[in-house]
Amino acid sequence: MSRPIFDLTGRRAVVTGASRGIGQTIALALAEAGADVAVTARALGNLDETRSLVEASGQRCIALAQDVADVENCRAVIGQAAEALGGLDILVNNAGVESVRPSLEVDEALWDGIVSTNLKGAFFCAQAAGRIMAGAQGGAIVNLCSLTSFVGIPTAVPYGASKSGLLGVTHALAAEWAGHGIRVNAIAPGYFRTAMTEVFYQDEAWQGQMLAKIPQRRFGEQADVAGVAVFLCSDASAYVTGHCIPVDGGYLASI
């Protein structure tokens, strides 16, 4: 074997929503595996830490401001990233938003804000990347789905709808783009304590109830996602497309 199958040396990656949390962790994991990485977030200044971490790993990092809810901006930024990196081999659609609200109180603005970012934005980023990859030698796209892609979570209807839709996008694009050499997969993180989910973790009773449902009896840590992301972006998963890997400590398997 001329090169380890998890090696990403020479690959060019874009990670959206990479200013913190899981997105930052994935960007760094790809860099540590050898990829040059373009990272995006709505505010360019929020990417300073991620860029420093990637560059400290020895890889090139491009930071770009991006609003994934804006389709034209999606297209422009993906194109800009590919131009700066000299091509595009990997896209990780991580950018996402959530707002906890009882379904009887969900209004149109909340629905549109979540679905436009989590579903529409992910699709159009994938489309922009797919156009580049199809004209080259293919590539790998990884979408960040959720446990709500599989099960219903109270007070998370718009979020669940967007993530269920993203799982459908993953399946459909994998089937359609396989002939272009483009693999499309997803990761469904379980219960991870991030800035977006912190509101849940303020409730100690909720924490106890959730831990009792997770066979490994712990919440996810950022590093738990890193290896799965590298796997799905590397030659190690060359015959894997159209799948979503839950990283959930056994939660889905036990319900």
- Please identify which of the residues 159, 191, 201, 251 carries the catalytic annotation: 159
159 is catalytic: yes
Distance CA 78, CA 115 (A): 20
Q: How far is CA 34 from CA 79, 88, 155, in A?
A: 21, 14, 40
Question: d(Cα 116, Cα 103) in Å, to the nearest integer?
Answer: 18
- The distance in angstroms from the start CA to the end CA of the chain is 41
Q: Residue 37's closest CA among 56, 11, 19?
A: 11
* Burial state string for 28-61 with b = 16 or more CB within 10 A and e = fewer than 16: bbbbbbbbbbbbbbbeeebbeebbebbeebebbb
Name the residues annotated as catalytic. 159
